[in-house]
Amino acid sequence: MNSLRTTFRNNLKQYMMLFALVAIVIAFQILTKGVLLKPMNVSNLIFQNAYVVILAVGMLLCILTGGNIDLSVGSVVALVGAFAGTFIITWGWNPHLSILLCLGIGILIGVWQGFWIAYMRIPAFIVTLSGMLVFRGLTLIVLNGLTLAPFPSGYLAYSTGFVPDPFAGLELFGVRNTTSLLVGILIAVVYCVIQVMGYLGRKNKGYAVESLWTLILKMAVISPAVIWLFYILASYRGIPMVLIIVGIVLLVYSYFTSHTVMGRHLYALGGNEKAARLSGVKTNRLLFLAYVNMAFLAAVAGIVFAARLNSASPQAGQSFELDAIGSCFLGGASAYGGVGTVGGTLIGALFMGVLNNGMSIMGISSNVQQVVKGLVLLAAVAVDAMSKNKLPFNLPRFGKKSLEGQQSVES
C-alpha cells in the first residue's frame, strides 16, 4: 500500500488526468445515449485525433527543453499538405516519392527554425510566430488560394484505410474482424511480458522498484483496456492504418525519452540549462534537434491530415498548435520545462479528443467548445503553477494586519 501511495503521489497530475479521462468518457457515453463508444465512432475518434497525438509528441520535446512551444506547427501542416497536393494531384508524381519529399521539406523547415532558436538564441516564441505567418503565406502561394482534390488511393491508403483481415469470414467471439482482436490480445501479452522482464531486470540490478502489487495492478488495468479497444475496432472494420503510424510514434518517442542518454539530457536541459551545459550536455544541439523533430512530426501530421480531408486546403491546420500544446499540459507537462511524459501526452490528447467529439455529438456549437477547451487548458496550467509554487498554502494577505506585520518584520 505504501508503494501504491508513493507511485500515485509521484505521478499525481498524470493519474488525475487519467481519472478525468475515464470520468468524461462515462459522462459523454451517458449524455450521448451510448453513441460515443459505438465501434464506428471509436474509429472516427482515432482518425480525428491521430494528427493531434503526433503533433503533441513533438511539442512535448520542445516543452521539455524549458517550456518552449512551437506556434508554427499548424502552418507547417498546411504547407506540407499543399506540397503533397501539388506533387501528387497537379504534377502527377508518385505518391511514395512525394511523401518522402514532404518529410524532407518538414526537416528543412525544422533546420531553419532550429538554427535561429538554438544558435542565434532568438526566443522560440518569436521565431515560431514568424514561421506561423511565413508558412501560412507560402501555403496560399503554393495553392494559389485554391483547394486541390482528390488524392489517389495509393496516397490515402496510409492514413484512411484499414489493415486487411486475412481471417475474413472467421468470426471469433462474434466480431467482424478477427485480426484486430488477435492483435489486441498480442499487444496486451507483449506489454505484460515487457513489464515483468523490466521489473525483474531492475530488481536483479539492485535498483529501486515498485511493489509487485503495483505492477500487477498496472497490468490488470492496461491489458484489458487494450483488448477492449481492439475488440471495439474488430466490431467495425478493424484496425485503422493511421493507428499503426500513431503507435510507432508513441513507442519510438516513449523509448527515446525514458531509455536513451539524449532523452535524459532533454529533461536536464529543461530542468536547468546552465547546470546541464556545465555537465557536458550540448544544449544548443539538443535545442536545435528538438525543433527539427517538431517540424518533421508536423510534416507527418500534415500528410495524415491531408489524406483524411482527401484534399490540400489553404485553411488546413488552423489552431492545431493550440490542440498540441493543450494536450501536453493536460497530460502533465510543466510549463517551466523538464517535466512530462509521452504517456501523459497521449492521455491529454485523448481527453481533448473525447471532449471535442462528445460535445459535437451533443450538438454543442463550436463557439462554446472553444470556451470549454480554453478553460480546461487554463485549469491544467494553473494546477501546474500552484503545485510548483505551492500557491494554495502561501497566498499573500493584503489586509491592514498583514501590512503591519510585514513592517514589523522589516524593522
Please name the amino acid found at residue 358.
Answer: G
DSSP 201-265: HHHHTT-----HHHHHHHHHHHHHHHHHHHHHHHTTT--BHHHHHHHHHHHHHHHHHHHSHHHHH
pLDDT digits (tens, 9 = 90+) for 266-314: 999 998 999 999 999 999 999 999 999 999 999 999 999 999 999 999 9
Q: Where is average pLDDT lowest: 22-31, 114-123, 373-382? A: 373-382
The answer on pLDDT for 218 being more than 90 is no
| Region label for 319, one of left (φ > 0), alpha (ψ between -120 and 50) or beta (otherwise) | left
The answer on pLDDT for 390 being more than 70 is no
Q: Where is average pLDDT lowest: 64-68, 157-161, 319-323, 354-358? A: 157-161
Q: How many CB atoms lie within 10 A of CB 349?
A: 27
CA distance 302 to 16: 31
Domain range enclosing 382:
2-161+240-410
Number of domain units in the chain:
1
CATH of the domain at 128: 1.10.3470
Q: Coil, strand or helix: which one is 312?
A: strand
Peptide bond between residue 314 and the one before it cis (omega within 30 degrees of 0): no
| Region label for 174, one of left (φ > 0), alpha (ψ between -120 and 50) or beta (otherwise) | left
The stretch 217-236 carries a mean pLDDT of: 90
**Would you say residue 33 lies in a domain?**
yes
Q: Nearest to residue 332, comparing CAs of 353, 351, 319? A: 351
Q: Where is average pLDDT lowest: 123-127, 383-387, 403-407? A: 403-407
**Residues found in the chain:** 411
Q: Which residue has the cell 474509429?
A: 43
Would you state the cell numbers that stand for residue 248, as one nine-digit string? 510507432
**Would you say residue 195 lies in a domain?**
no
Please tell me the predicted confidence (pLDDT) of residue 30.
Answer: 94
Peptide bond between residue 166 and the one before it cis (omega within 30 degrees of 0): no
- Give CA 145 to chain center in angstroms: 30
**Would you say residue 259 lies in a domain?**
yes
What value does the mean pLDDT of the chain take? 86
pLDDT digits (tens, 9 = 90+) for 342-366: 988 999 999 999 999 999 999 988 8
**Would you say residue 362 lies in a domain?**
yes
Please tell me the predicted confidence (pLDDT) of residue 399.
Answer: 43
Question: pTM of the predicted model, to two decimals?
Answer: 0.88
Q: How many CB atoms lie within 10 A of CB 137?
A: 12
**Would you say residue 196 lies in a domain?**
no
Please tell me the predicted confidence (pLDDT) of residue 315.
Answer: 92
On the CB side of 191, how many CA atoms lie within 13 Å of its CA?
A: 19
CA distance 197 to 148: 50
**Would you say residue 223 lies in a domain?**
no
**Would you say residue 107 lies in a domain?**
yes
The answer on pLDDT for 397 being more than 70 is no
**Would you say residue 180 lies in a domain?**
no
